[in-house]
Chains A and B, each alone.
Chain A
Amino acid sequence: MAPKTTPSTPKSAPSPVASLWKAYNDETPDRLKFVDSFLVFLMLSGITQFLYCILVTSFPFNAFLAGFSSTVGQFVLTASLRSQVNPTTKDFKDVSPERAFADFALGSIVLHFFVFNFLG
Protein backbone atom coordinates (compact mmCIF):
# COMPACT_ATOMS: atom_id res chain seq x y z
CA MET A 1 0.00 0.00 0.00
CA ALA A 2 2.31 2.70 1.23
CA PRO A 3 5.88 2.63 0.00
CA LYS A 4 8.57 1.58 2.44
CA THR A 5 9.81 4.63 4.19
CA THR A 6 12.05 3.34 6.95
CA PRO A 7 15.33 2.83 5.07
CA SER A 8 15.16 6.14 3.25
CA THR A 9 14.05 8.20 6.25
CA PRO A 10 16.73 10.66 7.30
CA LYS A 11 17.42 11.16 10.99
CA SER A 12 15.95 14.61 10.91
CA ALA A 13 12.50 13.32 9.87
CA PRO A 14 9.85 14.15 12.49
CA SER A 15 8.44 10.68 13.01
CA PRO A 16 7.78 7.51 11.02
CA VAL A 17 4.03 7.95 11.37
CA ALA A 18 4.13 11.46 9.95
CA SER A 19 6.32 10.41 7.06
CA LEU A 20 4.03 7.46 6.38
CA TRP A 21 1.07 9.85 6.29
CA LYS A 22 2.91 12.19 3.99
CA ALA A 23 3.90 9.39 1.64
CA TYR A 24 0.32 8.15 1.55
CA ASN A 25 -0.98 11.61 0.79
CA ASP A 26 1.54 12.19 -1.93
CA GLU A 27 1.65 8.86 -3.67
CA THR A 28 -1.87 7.40 -3.49
CA PRO A 29 -4.12 8.09 -6.45
CA ASP A 30 -7.29 10.02 -5.71
CA ARG A 31 -9.49 7.10 -6.69
CA LEU A 32 -7.90 4.95 -4.01
CA LYS A 33 -8.22 7.75 -1.49
CA PHE A 34 -11.89 7.90 -2.38
CA VAL A 35 -12.21 4.18 -1.65
CA ASP A 36 -10.10 4.53 1.49
CA SER A 37 -12.33 7.22 2.93
CA PHE A 38 -15.27 4.94 2.32
CA LEU A 39 -13.42 2.19 4.23
CA VAL A 40 -12.77 4.55 7.11
CA PHE A 41 -16.43 5.47 7.13
CA LEU A 42 -17.47 1.81 7.26
CA MET A 43 -15.04 1.10 10.07
CA LEU A 44 -16.24 4.02 12.18
CA SER A 45 -19.86 3.17 11.51
CA GLY A 46 -19.37 -0.45 12.54
CA ILE A 47 -17.47 0.55 15.68
CA THR A 48 -20.15 2.97 16.82
CA GLN A 49 -22.92 0.40 16.25
CA PHE A 50 -20.97 -2.20 18.17
CA LEU A 51 -20.38 0.24 21.03
CA TYR A 52 -24.09 0.97 21.14
CA CYS A 53 -24.81 -2.77 21.33
CA ILE A 54 -22.33 -3.24 24.17
CA LEU A 55 -23.02 -0.09 26.17
CA VAL A 56 -26.73 0.47 25.78
CA THR A 57 -28.75 -2.46 24.50
CA SER A 58 -28.89 -5.02 21.77
CA PHE A 59 -32.65 -4.97 21.93
CA PRO A 60 -33.68 -4.92 18.30
CA PHE A 61 -31.02 -7.57 17.80
CA ASN A 62 -31.99 -8.13 14.17
CA ALA A 63 -31.42 -4.46 13.48
CA PHE A 64 -28.01 -4.63 15.12
CA LEU A 65 -27.13 -7.73 13.12
CA ALA A 66 -28.24 -6.07 9.90
CA GLY A 67 -26.38 -2.84 10.56
CA PHE A 68 -23.19 -4.35 11.86
CA SER A 69 -22.98 -7.13 9.29
CA SER A 70 -23.66 -4.67 6.49
CA THR A 71 -20.69 -2.54 7.55
CA VAL A 72 -18.41 -5.52 8.00
CA GLY A 73 -19.48 -7.15 4.74
CA GLN A 74 -19.26 -3.93 2.81
CA PHE A 75 -15.81 -3.34 4.29
CA VAL A 76 -14.63 -6.73 3.08
CA LEU A 77 -16.08 -6.22 -0.39
CA THR A 78 -14.64 -2.73 -0.66
CA ALA A 79 -11.24 -3.78 0.60
CA SER A 80 -11.06 -6.51 -2.01
CA LEU A 81 -12.18 -4.05 -4.68
CA ARG A 82 -9.44 -1.69 -3.58
CA SER A 83 -6.73 -4.32 -3.70
CA GLN A 84 -7.82 -5.45 -7.16
CA VAL A 85 -8.05 -1.94 -8.53
CA ASN A 86 -4.78 -0.79 -6.99
CA PRO A 87 -2.22 -0.63 -9.86
CA THR A 88 0.69 -1.34 -7.50
CA THR A 89 -0.71 -4.67 -6.33
CA LYS A 90 1.05 -7.37 -8.31
CA ASP A 91 -1.27 -10.23 -7.42
CA PHE A 92 -4.24 -9.06 -9.47
CA LYS A 93 -2.54 -8.10 -12.71
CA ASP A 94 -4.87 -10.31 -14.78
CA VAL A 95 -8.02 -8.95 -13.16
CA SER A 96 -9.20 -5.83 -14.93
CA PRO A 97 -10.66 -3.01 -12.80
CA GLU A 98 -13.94 -3.44 -14.67
CA ARG A 99 -14.15 -7.08 -13.70
CA ALA A 100 -13.33 -6.12 -10.11
CA PHE A 101 -16.09 -3.54 -10.09
CA ALA A 102 -18.58 -6.04 -11.51
CA ASP A 103 -17.69 -8.44 -8.71
CA PHE A 104 -18.04 -5.64 -6.21
CA ALA A 105 -21.48 -4.67 -7.51
CA LEU A 106 -22.74 -8.27 -7.52
CA GLY A 107 -21.38 -8.96 -4.03
CA SER A 108 -22.87 -5.74 -2.70
CA ILE A 109 -26.30 -6.52 -4.09
CA VAL A 110 -26.28 -9.99 -2.55
CA LEU A 111 -25.04 -8.57 0.77
CA HIS A 112 -27.71 -5.89 0.79
CA PHE A 113 -30.37 -8.49 0.05
CA PHE A 114 -29.39 -10.41 3.18
CA VAL A 115 -29.07 -7.25 5.24
CA PHE A 116 -32.56 -6.09 4.29
CA ASN A 117 -33.84 -9.54 5.20
CA PHE A 118 -32.46 -9.05 8.69
CA LEU A 119 -33.83 -5.56 9.12
CA GLY A 120 -37.28 -7.01 9.68
Chain B
Amino acid sequence: MRCLFSLLLLAASARAAILTLQSARFIITDAKGEQVRSEPISTTHAAKPIELGKSDTLKLTFQVFDKEEGQGVQPHQTFLRFYDEVSGEEGLQPVRVASNGKAKFELNLAKPPLSLPPTKADTPLKLSLIIGAPSHSPLTVKLPDLLLPASQAPPVHPDEASFHPLPEIHHTFRPDQKLPPRPISAVFTAVVLAPWVVLLGLWSQVSIRVPYIFSPSILPFIATLGAFEGLLFAYWVDLKLGQVLFYGAGLSLATIFTGKNALAAIGSRRTGKGN
Protein backbone atom coordinates (compact mmCIF):
# COMPACT_ATOMS: atom_id res chain seq x y z
CA MET B 1 0.00 0.00 0.00
CA ARG B 2 2.73 2.38 1.06
CA CYS B 3 4.78 1.33 -1.91
CA LEU B 4 1.91 2.13 -4.25
CA PHE B 5 1.46 5.54 -2.63
CA SER B 6 5.09 6.50 -2.99
CA LEU B 7 5.00 5.34 -6.59
CA LEU B 8 2.06 7.63 -7.25
CA LEU B 9 3.95 10.51 -5.63
CA LEU B 10 6.95 9.79 -7.78
CA ALA B 11 4.83 9.77 -10.90
CA ALA B 12 3.19 13.06 -9.91
CA SER B 13 6.51 14.78 -9.30
CA ALA B 14 7.94 13.46 -12.55
CA ARG B 15 5.09 14.90 -14.48
CA ALA B 16 5.09 18.19 -12.53
CA ALA B 17 6.37 21.27 -14.27
CA ILE B 18 9.35 23.17 -12.96
CA LEU B 19 9.22 26.67 -11.44
CA THR B 20 12.07 29.15 -11.73
CA LEU B 21 12.82 32.50 -10.22
CA GLN B 22 13.22 35.41 -12.60
CA SER B 23 14.54 38.93 -12.23
CA ALA B 24 15.25 38.50 -8.58
CA ARG B 25 17.04 41.47 -7.08
CA PHE B 26 17.49 43.24 -3.81
CA ILE B 27 17.72 46.90 -2.99
CA ILE B 28 19.02 48.35 0.25
CA THR B 29 17.86 51.81 1.17
CA ASP B 30 18.83 53.77 4.25
CA ALA B 31 16.57 55.64 6.64
CA LYS B 32 16.29 58.66 4.31
CA GLY B 33 15.16 56.47 1.44
CA GLU B 34 18.43 56.74 -0.48
CA GLN B 35 19.53 53.65 -2.30
CA VAL B 36 22.68 52.15 -0.81
CA ARG B 37 23.08 48.96 -2.78
CA SER B 38 21.12 47.33 -5.56
CA GLU B 39 22.09 43.97 -7.04
CA PRO B 40 20.49 41.15 -8.96
CA ILE B 41 20.37 37.89 -7.03
CA SER B 42 22.21 35.03 -8.56
CA THR B 43 20.76 31.66 -7.65
CA THR B 44 23.64 29.71 -9.10
CA HIS B 45 26.69 30.91 -7.19
CA ALA B 46 27.13 32.17 -3.67
CA ALA B 47 26.95 35.93 -3.42
CA LYS B 48 28.33 38.38 -0.92
CA PRO B 49 26.14 38.55 2.19
CA ILE B 50 23.57 41.31 2.32
CA GLU B 51 24.58 43.63 5.14
CA LEU B 52 21.95 45.86 6.71
CA GLY B 53 22.35 48.74 9.10
CA LYS B 54 20.07 49.52 12.00
CA SER B 55 17.59 51.62 10.08
CA ASP B 56 18.09 50.22 6.59
CA THR B 57 15.35 48.64 4.54
CA LEU B 58 15.79 45.59 2.39
CA LYS B 59 13.56 45.30 -0.66
CA LEU B 60 13.38 41.95 -2.36
CA THR B 61 11.66 41.56 -5.73
CA PHE B 62 11.28 38.47 -7.87
CA GLN B 63 8.91 36.77 -10.23
CA VAL B 64 7.89 33.12 -10.06
CA PHE B 65 7.99 31.89 -13.62
CA ASP B 66 7.13 28.73 -15.48
CA LYS B 67 9.62 28.42 -18.30
CA GLU B 68 7.67 25.82 -20.29
CA GLU B 69 4.55 27.89 -20.44
CA GLY B 70 6.47 31.16 -20.54
CA GLN B 71 4.37 32.98 -18.00
CA GLY B 72 4.30 33.96 -14.35
CA VAL B 73 2.74 31.58 -11.82
CA GLN B 74 1.03 32.44 -8.56
CA PRO B 75 2.16 29.71 -6.16
CA HIS B 76 -0.01 28.51 -3.29
CA GLN B 77 2.58 29.13 -0.66
CA THR B 78 5.66 31.34 -0.66
CA PHE B 79 7.86 31.70 2.37
CA LEU B 80 11.09 33.40 3.23
CA ARG B 81 13.03 31.37 5.75
CA PHE B 82 15.51 33.00 8.07
CA TYR B 83 17.76 30.48 9.73
CA ASP B 84 20.53 31.01 12.23
CA GLU B 85 22.87 28.03 11.94
CA VAL B 86 24.64 28.79 15.22
CA SER B 87 21.66 29.14 17.52
CA GLY B 88 19.28 26.99 15.46
CA GLU B 89 16.62 29.70 15.53
CA GLU B 90 14.53 30.09 12.44
CA GLY B 91 11.68 32.25 11.25
CA LEU B 92 9.24 31.86 8.41
CA GLN B 93 7.78 34.93 6.76
CA PRO B 94 4.99 34.48 4.17
CA VAL B 95 5.38 36.55 1.02
CA ARG B 96 2.45 37.79 -1.02
CA VAL B 97 2.76 36.92 -4.67
CA ALA B 98 0.60 38.60 -7.32
CA SER B 99 -1.30 36.56 -9.89
CA ASN B 100 1.33 37.28 -12.51
CA GLY B 101 3.95 35.73 -10.25
CA LYS B 102 5.55 39.01 -9.24
CA ALA B 103 6.38 39.52 -5.59
CA LYS B 104 7.85 42.27 -3.50
CA PHE B 105 9.06 41.80 0.05
CA GLU B 106 10.23 44.55 2.31
CA LEU B 107 12.24 44.11 5.48
CA ASN B 108 12.38 47.32 7.47
CA LEU B 109 14.83 46.96 10.29
CA ALA B 110 13.32 49.90 12.12
CA LYS B 111 10.19 47.72 12.39
CA PRO B 112 11.39 44.12 12.16
CA PRO B 113 8.70 41.46 11.63
CA LEU B 114 7.95 39.07 14.46
CA SER B 115 9.16 36.14 12.42
CA LEU B 116 12.73 37.45 12.32
CA PRO B 117 14.80 35.37 14.74
CA PRO B 118 17.06 37.14 17.23
CA THR B 119 20.48 37.81 15.75
CA LYS B 120 24.01 38.44 16.89
CA ALA B 121 26.29 40.90 15.12
CA ASP B 122 28.72 38.34 13.69
CA THR B 123 26.52 35.41 12.70
CA PRO B 124 24.65 35.72 9.41
CA LEU B 125 21.13 34.45 8.85
CA LYS B 126 20.73 31.91 6.08
CA LEU B 127 18.04 33.18 3.77
CA SER B 128 16.06 30.90 1.52
CA LEU B 129 12.87 31.16 -0.48
CA ILE B 130 10.45 28.24 -0.35
CA ILE B 131 7.78 28.06 -3.01
CA GLY B 132 5.05 25.46 -3.28
CA ALA B 133 2.31 25.04 -5.86
CA PRO B 134 0.19 21.90 -6.48
CA SER B 135 0.76 22.02 -10.22
CA HIS B 136 4.51 22.30 -9.99
CA SER B 137 7.31 20.58 -8.14
CA PRO B 138 8.40 22.47 -5.02
CA LEU B 139 11.22 24.97 -5.22
CA THR B 140 13.74 26.06 -2.64
CA VAL B 141 16.09 28.87 -3.64
CA LYS B 142 19.12 29.78 -1.60
CA LEU B 143 19.45 33.54 -1.33
CA PRO B 144 22.53 35.45 -0.13
CA ASP B 145 23.13 35.43 3.63
CA LEU B 146 21.69 38.24 5.64
CA LEU B 147 24.00 40.05 8.04
CA LEU B 148 21.90 42.04 10.50
CA PRO B 149 22.87 44.17 13.46
CA ALA B 150 22.55 42.46 16.81
CA SER B 151 18.99 42.41 18.09
CA GLN B 152 18.11 43.94 21.41
CA ALA B 153 18.30 41.82 24.51
CA PRO B 154 14.92 40.27 25.26
CA PRO B 155 13.00 42.25 27.86
CA VAL B 156 13.09 40.83 31.37
CA HIS B 157 9.78 39.39 32.45
CA PRO B 158 8.46 41.12 35.56
CA ASP B 159 8.14 37.79 37.32
CA GLU B 160 11.54 36.64 36.22
CA ALA B 161 13.06 37.10 39.66
CA SER B 162 10.67 34.60 41.18
CA PHE B 163 11.89 31.80 38.95
CA HIS B 164 15.25 31.48 40.63
CA PRO B 165 16.11 29.50 43.72
CA LEU B 166 15.89 31.69 46.78
CA PRO B 167 18.91 32.09 49.01
CA GLU B 168 19.21 29.46 51.67
CA ILE B 169 17.29 30.18 54.83
CA HIS B 170 19.37 30.33 57.97
CA HIS B 171 17.32 30.16 61.12
CA THR B 172 18.53 32.16 64.03
CA PHE B 173 17.52 31.10 67.49
CA ARG B 174 17.57 32.95 70.72
CA PRO B 175 20.38 31.78 72.98
CA ASP B 176 19.31 29.43 75.75
CA GLN B 177 18.06 31.19 78.79
CA LYS B 178 20.20 30.70 81.82
CA LEU B 179 19.35 30.20 85.44
CA PRO B 180 20.52 33.03 87.70
CA PRO B 181 23.55 32.46 89.94
CA ARG B 182 22.97 30.21 92.91
CA PRO B 183 23.23 32.90 95.66
CA ILE B 184 20.50 34.99 94.01
CA SER B 185 18.33 31.91 93.61
CA ALA B 186 18.87 31.05 97.26
CA VAL B 187 17.98 34.57 98.43
CA PHE B 188 14.80 34.69 96.40
CA THR B 189 13.85 31.19 97.48
CA ALA B 190 14.01 32.46 101.05
CA VAL B 191 12.01 35.57 100.11
CA VAL B 192 9.32 33.56 98.34
CA LEU B 193 9.07 31.14 101.25
CA ALA B 194 8.91 33.97 103.82
CA PRO B 195 5.12 34.44 103.51
CA TRP B 196 4.73 30.96 104.98
CA VAL B 197 6.32 32.25 108.15
CA VAL B 198 3.91 35.17 108.13
CA LEU B 199 0.99 32.81 107.57
CA LEU B 200 1.98 30.46 110.39
CA GLY B 201 2.62 33.43 112.65
CA LEU B 202 -0.78 34.95 111.96
CA TRP B 203 -2.53 31.61 112.35
CA SER B 204 -0.85 31.08 115.68
CA GLN B 205 -2.40 34.37 116.83
CA VAL B 206 -5.88 33.28 115.80
CA SER B 207 -7.27 30.64 118.05
CA ILE B 208 -9.83 28.73 116.11
CA ARG B 209 -11.43 25.56 117.24
CA VAL B 210 -12.29 22.78 114.89
CA PRO B 211 -13.86 20.36 117.33
CA TYR B 212 -15.55 18.06 114.84
CA ILE B 213 -12.81 17.61 112.29
CA PHE B 214 -12.13 14.03 113.36
CA SER B 215 -15.79 13.09 113.59
CA PRO B 216 -16.71 10.22 111.24
CA SER B 217 -18.93 12.46 109.13
CA ILE B 218 -16.31 15.10 108.36
CA LEU B 219 -13.02 13.23 108.29
CA PRO B 220 -13.77 11.38 105.00
CA PHE B 221 -14.45 14.69 103.29
CA ILE B 222 -11.15 16.15 104.45
CA ALA B 223 -9.44 12.92 103.43
CA THR B 224 -10.91 12.95 99.91
CA LEU B 225 -9.95 16.61 99.44
CA GLY B 226 -6.43 15.70 100.53
CA ALA B 227 -6.49 12.75 98.15
CA PHE B 228 -7.39 15.11 95.33
CA GLU B 229 -4.38 17.29 96.06
CA GLY B 230 -2.23 14.16 96.31
CA LEU B 231 -3.55 13.01 92.93
CA LEU B 232 -2.64 16.35 91.38
CA PHE B 233 0.81 16.14 92.94
CA ALA B 234 1.21 12.65 91.48
CA TYR B 235 0.11 14.11 88.13
CA TRP B 236 2.95 16.60 88.38
CA VAL B 237 5.43 13.90 89.30
CA ASP B 238 4.67 11.21 86.75
CA LEU B 239 1.03 10.52 85.89
CA LYS B 240 -0.45 11.05 82.43
CA LEU B 241 -3.45 13.28 81.82
CA GLY B 242 -5.70 10.33 80.97
CA GLN B 243 -4.83 8.52 84.20
CA VAL B 244 -5.48 11.68 86.21
CA LEU B 245 -8.89 12.17 84.60
CA PHE B 246 -9.73 8.50 85.20
CA TYR B 247 -8.71 8.50 88.87
CA GLY B 248 -10.14 12.00 89.34
CA ALA B 249 -13.54 10.87 88.05
CA GLY B 250 -13.70 8.12 90.65
CA LEU B 251 -12.37 10.37 93.37
CA SER B 252 -14.86 13.10 92.54
CA LEU B 253 -17.78 10.69 93.00
CA ALA B 254 -16.42 9.78 96.43
CA THR B 255 -15.83 13.45 97.24
CA ILE B 256 -19.35 14.44 96.27
CA PHE B 257 -20.72 11.73 98.54
CA THR B 258 -18.48 12.50 101.53
CA GLY B 259 -18.83 16.24 101.02
CA LYS B 260 -22.61 16.05 101.00
CA ASN B 261 -22.52 14.03 104.21
CA ALA B 262 -20.01 16.28 105.94
CA LEU B 263 -21.58 19.57 104.96
CA ALA B 264 -25.07 18.32 105.81
CA ALA B 265 -23.79 17.30 109.24
CA ILE B 266 -22.17 20.70 109.79
CA GLY B 267 -25.25 22.49 108.54
CA SER B 268 -27.64 20.65 110.82
CA ARG B 269 -25.30 21.23 113.75
CA ARG B 270 -25.13 24.95 112.91
CA THR B 271 -28.88 25.39 112.49
CA GLY B 272 -29.49 23.24 115.56
CA LYS B 273 -27.16 25.48 117.49
CA GLY B 274 -28.77 28.56 116.07
CA ASN B 275 -32.20 27.32 117.18
Q: Which residues of A contact B (CB under 8 A)?
A: 30-31, 33-34, 37-38, 40-42, 44-45, 48-49, 51-52, 56-57, 59, 96-99, 101-102, 105, 109, 112-113, 116, 119
In the complex the two chains form, is B198's CB within 8 Å of A40's CB?
A: yes
Q: Shortest Cβ distance from A95 into chain B, in angstroms?
A: 12
In the complex the two chains form, is A59's CB within 8 Å of B196's CB?
A: no
B266 at interface, CB cutoff 8 A: yes
Instruction: Using A41-B202, A116-B235 as known contacts, say yes or no to A52 and B195 having CB atoms under 8 A apart.
Output: no
Q: B236 — which chain A residues lie within 8 A by C-beta? A: 116, 119
Please name the 4 residue pairs, one residue from A and one from B, whose CB atoms are nearest each other, closest first: A37-B202, A41-B199, A98-B263, A44-B195
Chain A residue at smallest Cβ distance from B178? A59
Given contacts A109-B229, A112-B229, A116-B235, 6 further A-B contacts (CB under 8 A): A37-B199, A44-B198, A52-B191, A57-B177, A113-B244, A116-B233
Main secondary structure of the interface of B (DSSP, over half): helix
Instruction: Using A41-B199, A101-B263, A116-B233 as known contacts, say yes or no to A109 and B228 having CB atoms under 8 A apart.
Output: yes
In the complex the two chains form, is A31's CB within 8 Å of B179's CB?
A: no
B: number of interface residues (CB 8 Å)? 35
Instruction: Using A101-B263, A109-B228 as known contacts, say yes or no to A41 and B192 having CB atoms under 8 A apart.
Output: no
- Docked Cα-Cα span, A18 to B1, in Å, equals 126
Main secondary structure of the interface of A (DSSP, over half): helix
In the complex the two chains form, is A31's CB within 8 Å of B232's CB?
A: no
Which of B22-30, B45-53, B99-107, B203-211 lines the interface with chain A? B203-211
- Docked Cα-Cα span, A113 to B228, in Å, equals 9
Q: A52 — which chain B residues lie within 8 A by C-beta? A: 188, 191-192
Q: Which residues of B contact A (CB under 8 A)?
A: 177-180, 184, 188, 191-192, 194-196, 198-199, 202-203, 205-208, 225, 228-229, 232-233, 235-236, 244, 248, 255, 259, 263-264, 266-267, 270
- Docked Cα-Cα span, A49 to B195, in Å, equals 11
Contact of B195 among A41, A96, A102, A109 (CB under 8 A): A41
Q: Show 8 residue pairs from A and B whose CB-CB distance is below 8 angstroms, ordered by the A residue.
A: A30-B208, A31-B208, A33-B202, A45-B192, A59-B178, A98-B264, A105-B225, A105-B259
- Docked Cα-Cα span, A93 to B259, in Å, equals 22
Q: B229 — which chain A residues lie within 8 A by C-beta? A: 109, 112
- Docked Cα-Cα span, A94 to B228, in Å, equals 29
Contact of B184 among A45, A51, A56, A105 (CB under 8 A): A56
- Docked Cα-Cα span, A89 to B191, in Å, equals 35
Instruction: Using A41-B195, A48-B191 as known contacts, say yes or no to A57 and B180 having CB atoms under 8 A apart.
Output: yes
Q: B235 — which chain A residues lie within 8 A by C-beta? A: 113, 116
Q: A109 — which chain B residues lie within 8 A by C-beta? A: 225, 228-229, 232
